[in-house]
Structure 1
């Protein structure tokens, strides 16, 4: 539980009960991400808009096994390994009817928005309609990386890459690296722009030779640019770099407004795509993981216990942790 900016603790709480239409999942593994760190720091926008409030239980990257079902849910779910959608639409509005529940105005977001408790706990309750079954070929580590993978999957879909296209990814954090992995699987020539040599060096361990810092970035025609950083300056840089007639994909979020000049967008005939959430990309990500087309596991720096998590949220890095950007909790 995060109870205030800069303060997180493990609490004993009543076990969840499956409401009608819900299941209870025994969580086996969950990850933390930049959104969780923003909640810990107090910078997350939802805290200031009223969509979230302390105390809150975080955790929206997870997998586990269904242990109970509520009224109206097929009992065949019990015992199945699953992950689930973070975005829980109301199910009754025009957006939900059109399959856009991830932008439903009244949506809850598991562990993020509307007070829906997250999955950094031994158990989590979630609607059965949000579940995605995990095949045996997707182990627990990959299962807990389906949600971030789904975001990257959608970003690469938005880039509309063809084999041989040259794609530049700005920001090799978890999402940026996953974008690079999916773009490579699509047959693109993938380059990454890193903030510094430390992040560049880790990206190279994943088999990406063309990793640059700003001062070394070559002048090349970029068919697509995926902006996956938290820099307020890089969205405009993406538009500056992309080839006329190309595509820019915006999946990174800065803490302050990040502006682009729409004159450049129009005069270069660029297609700009914004991506919110993994929802439409979860099934495709599971398929890619199961087929071995993309393996996200090298991004995991360490797998820790729930008791160790508050220190990690505060910036600690446990002894023996790898260089990857992702931490997992085993429950």
Structure 2
């Protein structure tokens, strides 16, 4: 049996107990240690723009960590008892995108945990073993649930190709931005600055390795590499203006609603190299997990609340407060 949170429709949820199927070929059964709550989960709760009404009912939860309890046929039994986290997209590993390494762009994906497949707002989760990443025994297993946004940050940093001595800025000092700053700090940039209008984000940004946090439009300098992780309507335009001629711009946020467009003429005149990041491929996941296991990522510092599964409604309320960091649900 398994307890899980069933979101029946926007704003309506309940805790249910169901029979849990055994892991099939290539799959494992995981005991969930913790599940992270993000803005996307709030969109599902509210039924916001872009949410397919056909998705309901569903069990949310795409950021998670746990311990392998059982293995299905064809899976190494040595995984039992191992601490793990896992990728969200059930990528096929055989389409052209997967073959080229862009597993996050899979064209034959079999589902997405927490969206089209039951997610981790539950005490048990069945997932393909090939999507797992091992967590070091000495690492904080609950905080490892935040390796999902860390992998997104790693994808942006890998795309940026920062070299020692580069001048780097990160626009947006939220979860992904702060994690990107921490990974960038390990690249030995000559200067690393966070750009965000919220003064409250200065402490986590500086703790992650930024020299300072400045308000949009107040940097007074240009940078070799700029990563946009704000997701706000004006973030991409601000990031472009901060990038020096011939520099590299990485767009990693997910803008909502209309904003200031990036004019092709500006990109051409500045001769910018522009990358976009949509989630994280398996290589970015491996990069983030390796950094976490080595003690280079302090994910625990991002957590402001830990709640039992039954307080999911409170978690949704807390997300409306800009001062709220990451929330972990503990089944």
TM-score by length of 1: 0.90
Q: Does the Cα contact within 8 Å between 2:172 and 2:235 map onto a contact in 1?
A: no
Q: Does the Cα contact within 8 Å between 2:144 and 2:299 map onto a contact in 1?
A: no
**Stretch deviating more after TM superposition (132-141 or 30-39):** 132-141
Counterpart of 1:45 in 2: which secondary structure? coil
Match of 2:3 in 1: none
Q: Does the Cα contact within 8 Å between 2:192 and 2:209 map onto a contact in 1?
A: no
**Stretch deviating more after TM superposition (38-47 or 309-318):** 309-318
Offset, 1:30: 1.3
Q: Matched residues in 2 for 1:313 and 1:34: separation? A: 9
Match of 1:239 in 2: 240
Q: Matched residues in 1 for 2:280 and 2:91: separation? A: 14
Mapping of residues 133-148 of structure 1, within 5 Å? 133-148=134-149
Q: Matched residues in 2 for 1:85 and 1:316: separation? A: 23
Match of 2:174 in 1: 173
Offset, 1:172: 1.1
Mapping of residues 295-314 of structure 1, within 5 Å? 295-314=298-317
Deviations 1:142-171 (A, max 9, x none): 421221111111111112112232211111
RMSD across aligned positions (CA): 2.3
Offset, 1:257: 4.8
Q: Does the Cα contact within 8 Å between 2:307 and 2:315 map onto a contact in 1?
A: no
Match of 1:256 in 2: 257
Cα pair distance change 1:219/1:100, threshold 3 Å: same
Q: Matched residues in 2 for 1:95 and 1:316: separation? A: 34
Mapping of residues 187-206 of structure 1, within 5 Å? 187-188=188-189, 189-204=191-206, 206=208
Match of 1:326 in 2: 326
Q: Matched residues in 2 for 1:323 and 1:257: separation? A: 25
Deviations 1:100-148 (A, max 9, x none): 2221123222112xx2111111001111111111122322134212211
Offset, 1:205: 5.1
Tell me whether 1:281 sits opposite 2:288 in the alignment.
Answer: no
Q: Matched residues in 1 for 2:209 and 2:92: separation? A: 42
Q: Does the Cα contact within 8 Å between 2:181 and 2:205 map onto a contact in 1?
A: no
Offset, 1:13: 2.7
Match of 1:75 in 2: 77
Pairs aligned (count): 322
Offset, 1:179: 0.9
Counterpart of 1:11 in 2: which secondary structure? strand
TM-score by length of 2: 0.90
Q: Does the Cα contact within 8 Å between 1:62 and 1:84 map onto a contact in 2?
A: yes
Cα pair distance change 1:226/1:294, threshold 3 Å: same
Offset, 1:199: 3.0
Counterpart of 1:236 in 2: which secondary structure? helix
Cα pair distance change 1:190/1:92, threshold 3 Å: same
Match of 2:154 in 1: 153
Cα pair distance change 1:167/1:122, threshold 3 Å: same
Q: Does the Cα contact within 8 Å between 1:31 and 1:327 map onto a contact in 2?
A: yes
Cα pair distance change 1:191/1:8, threshold 3 Å: farther
Unaligned stretches of 5+ residues in structure 2? 1-5
- 2:42 corresponds, among 7, 28, 37, to 37
Q: Matched residues in 2 for 1:134 and 1:206: separation? A: 21
Q: Does the Cα contact within 8 Å between 2:66 and 2:83 map onto a contact in 1?
A: yes
Counterpart of 2:55 in 1: which secondary structure? coil
Cα pair distance change 1:53/1:317, threshold 3 Å: closer
Offset, 1:71: 2.1
Offset, 1:323: 5.4
Match of 1:129 in 2: 130
Offset, 1:46: 4.6
Match of 1:55 in 2: 57
- 1:214 corresponds, among 187, 208, 216, to 216
- 1:15 corresponds, among 17, 20, 24, to 20
